Amino acid sequence: MYTTNASRGLPRHRSRYPAERYTRWALRALTAALVLATLWLVVAFHLRGQWMFALLFLVLGASLAIVFGKRQLMSHRYIFPALAGMGVFVIFPLLYTIGISFSNYSSSNLLGEERVRAQFLDRTYQAEGQAFDFRLYREGGQMRLYLEAPEAGREGTRHLVSEPLAEAEGGQPLAVRPSEAAPAGEALGLREVIARRDALEALTLVTPDGTELRMSGLRRFAPMLSRYQENADGSLTDRRDGTTLTPDRETGFFVTDDGERLTPGWPVAVGLDNYTRIFTDPDIRGPFLQIFVWTFVFAGLTVAFTLAVGFVLASLLQWEQLRGKAVYRTLLILPYAVPAFISILIFKGMFNQHYGEINLILEHLFGISPDWFTDPALARTMLLIVNTWLGYPYMLLLCMGLIQSIPRDLYEASAVDGGGPLTNMVRITLPLILKPLTPLLIAAFAFNFNNFVLIALLTGGKPDILGASTPAGTTDLLVSYTYRIAFQDAGQDFGLAAAIATLIFLLVVGLSLLNLRLSKVKV
């Protein structure tokens, strides 16, 4: 352990070697460039109104400038990159998640209020007047629309042909004029119309009498009007029936006079709503508690089973008189060496109802064919079997390492007293390795508590719990439940997912503090 001049705050001499001086200047320039790049991000995020991200990069840029600017913080320069990585990709997402848990951020409340308002103002409705079927004609490089009224028009023209579509660049209205014949060239099929849908939807056609036509369906153009009108107080008026929509900034929705909410809304802070929903809404509380209990059972049983298998195997393998231990050891840690996402999928195929080898064997031997994926109890059993297969090698390796450190003379003494192998295992080996093993068991518990990959790849949480208002399955762990609420199916409820994630964070903090205390980490 030594301290440098720099960290004592002593001045550094100008280097005698030009190469070193140039390197120093290059490093300073690099730091400055990085700081400037971060500042650019800060400004850009700020201009977009995303203050959370602006703040994140402001903190990042400022700490970068301070750590690399002050010579007293020489040592901190070495740890800064790693800390910045953890800060941006672990700690910031964690805080952001906790923040989301107090909001109603979801797929129905996704965009900001201004964007929602703009969406409402973009809505149109079909006004009174003649609608036309249309076809798109291509002649050379030019495209024209050919409009045809389905029934003989009361007020006149039946057929209209537009100017070439290229003239409508930049949102100009496009003139259409009466014509008896279809334009020259070939009519395009529906598939090509769909391919140009965005361009067509942006078109406004103007007939000779001044009516504006817009696309109202894949085959139709009709006179369309904006549905909503913005009022000075921020409310919207529906032009069709005159109802008023007032923005409710408590709930984040536009509401009509009789209290009906219109989607989409925008995210607002809702306080503890998400948490109260977890504990009071029966459609959420029921599945949540069931999944909560199963998560503990799953993690506990996994640790118990993997430890039991790993410990017994380790005790066998440390028997000096047994030959071929190296071969056994290599074969036994194979499940650890094969990437988990491959072995989990292998089991998914093997447990398959129809062609899976496991059911074929069971059918052959006992004449039974269990429904591994549709029966909740069997699906849970399957998860535990697969996870024991995946997880015991780690315990085996840990136990083998720890058994090595037990003094041999304890076993000799036991042999003198006439102790058999079973006595040795239960009375000597187990008690001696259990203490150093405990923190690792807690870590393994925490890992399996959050074993998302297994659930996602093997069962996807299915079979589903009946009567749940959020996607919830009987084999879901809390993490996969959170993932499904946030990313699957309709109604992605980020707020609720974040609230459950926050609860898991608290549990994990508890576990890791316990772990830290038990393992007596020396820093």
Partner 1 sequence: MAMVQPRSIRARKLGAHLALLGFVSLVVFPLLLVISISFREGNFATGSLIPERFSLEHWALAFGIPWERPDGSVVQPPFPVLLWLWNSIKVAVVSALMILALSTTSAYAFARMRFSGKAPILKGMLIFQMFPAVLSLVALYALFDRLGQLVPWLGINTHGALILASLGAVALHIWTIKGYFESIDGSLEEAAVVDGASTWQAFYHILLPLSVPILMVVFILAFIMSIMEYPMASVLLLDEDKLTLAVGAQQYLAEHNQRWGDFAAAAVLSGLPITLVFLLCQRWIVGGLTSGGVKG
Of 82-101, binders to partner 1 (CB under 8 A) are 82-83, 85-86, 88-94, 96-97, 100
Dmax over CA atoms of the chain, in Å, equals 115
Site string for partner 1, 106-135 (x = CB under 8 A): ------------------------------
Shortest Å, Cβ 316 to partner 1: 6
Distance separating alpha carbons of residues 448 and 307, to the nearest angstrom: 13
Size of the site for partner 1 (CB under 8 A): 104
Q: Which residues of 114-153 are buried (b: 16+ CB within 10 A; e: fewer)?
A: eebbeebeeebeeeeebbbebbbbbeeeebbbbbebeeee
Shortest Å, Cβ 259 to partner 1: 30
* Interacting residues with partner 1 between 12 and 41 (CB under 8 A): 41
The only residue of 29, 272, 293, 508 in contact with partner 1, by rule CB under 8 A = 508
* Interacting residues with partner 1 between 43 and 72 (CB under 8 A): 44-45, 48, 50, 53
471 sits in which H/E element: none
* Interacting residues with partner 1 between 323 and 382 (CB under 8 A): 324, 328, 330-343, 345-350, 352, 354-355, 357, 360
Residues facing residue 464 across a β-bridge: 473
Distance separating alpha carbons of residues 284 and 278, to the nearest angstrom: 6
Question: Which range in 136-144, 162-170, 282-290, 510-518 contacts partner 1 by CB under 8 A?
Answer: 510-518
Shortest Å, Cβ 355 to partner 1: 4
Q: Say if strands 205-206 and 220-226 run parallel, antiparallel, or are unpaired.
A: unpaired
Kindly tell me which of 185 and 421 has the beta carbon lying closer to partner 1.
Answer: 421
Kindly tell me which of 298 and 347 has the beta carbon lying closer to partner 1.
Answer: 347
Shortest Å, Cβ 195 to partner 1: 19
Distance separating alpha carbons of residues 481 and 460, to the nearest angstrom: 10
Q: Residue 445: which of 248, 240, 299 has the closest Cα?
A: 299
> What phi-psi label fits residue 261: left (phi over 0), alpha (psi between -120 and 50 degrees) or beta?
beta
Kindly tell me which of 215 and 398 has the beta carbon lying closer to partner 1.
Answer: 398
- The Cα-based distances of 98 to 385, 501, 505 in angstroms read 35, 8, 9
The three-point CA angle 384-387-393 to 5° equals: 135
Kindly tell me which of 103 and 207 has the beta carbon lying closer to partner 1.
Answer: 103
Kindly tell me which of 162 and 502 has the beta carbon lying closer to partner 1.
Answer: 502
Shortest Å, Cβ 294 to partner 1: 17
Kindly tell me which of 194 and 331 has the beta carbon lying closer to partner 1.
Answer: 331
Distance separating alpha carbons of residues 246 and 448, to the nearest angstrom: 48
Q: Which residues of 311-340 are buried (b: 16+ CB within 10 A; e: fewer)?
A: bebbbebbeeeeeeeeeebeebeebeeeee
Position 275 contacts partner 1 (CB under 8 A)? no
Shortest Å, Cβ 377 to partner 1: 22
Shortest Å, Cβ 462 to partner 1: 9
SS3 sequence, 142-155?
Answer: EEEEEEECCCCCCC
Distance separating alpha carbons of residues 421 and 401, to the nearest angstrom: 19
Kindly tell me which of 13 and 154 has the beta carbon lying closer to partner 1.
Answer: 13
CB distance 147 to 263 below 8 Å: no
Position 415 contacts partner 1 (CB under 8 A)? no
The only residue of 65, 397, 410, 432 in contact with partner 1, by rule CB under 8 A = 397
Kindly tell me which of 147 and 501 has the beta carbon lying closer to partner 1.
Answer: 501
The only residue of 222, 284, 291, 486 in contact with partner 1, by rule CB under 8 A = 486
Amino acid 377 reads: A
Shortest Å, Cβ 481 to partner 1: 11
Distance separating alpha carbons of residues 84 and 87, to the nearest angstrom: 5
* Interacting residues with partner 1 between 430 and 459 (CB under 8 A): 436, 439-440, 443, 446, 450, 452-453, 456-457
The only residue of 389, 406, 419, 488 in contact with partner 1, by rule CB under 8 A = 389
The only residue of 46, 384, 512, 518 in contact with partner 1, by rule CB under 8 A = 512
The only residue of 74, 143, 236, 245 in contact with partner 1, by rule CB under 8 A = 74
Within 8 A by CB and 6+ apart from 327, the residues are none
Question: Which range in 238-246, 299-307, 411-419, 498-506 contacts partner 1 by CB under 8 A?
Answer: 498-506
Kindly tell me which of 114 and 133 has the beta carbon lying closer to partner 1.
Answer: 114
Kindly tell me which of 109 and 157 has the beta carbon lying closer to partner 1.
Answer: 109
On the question of a cis peptide bond just before residue 267, with omega within 30 degrees of 0, the verdict is no
Q: Residue 130: which of 55, 57, 216 has the closest Cα?
A: 216
CB distance 92 to 181 below 8 Å: no
Within 8 A by CB and 6+ apart from 264, the residues are 108, 109, 110, 111, 116, 119
Kindly tell me which of 132 and 445 has the beta carbon lying closer to partner 1.
Answer: 445
Position 404 contacts partner 1 (CB under 8 A)? no
Question: Which range in 58-66, 180-188, 193-201, 320-328 contacts partner 1 by CB under 8 A?
Answer: 320-328
Distance separating alpha carbons of residues 260 and 253, to the nearest angstrom: 9
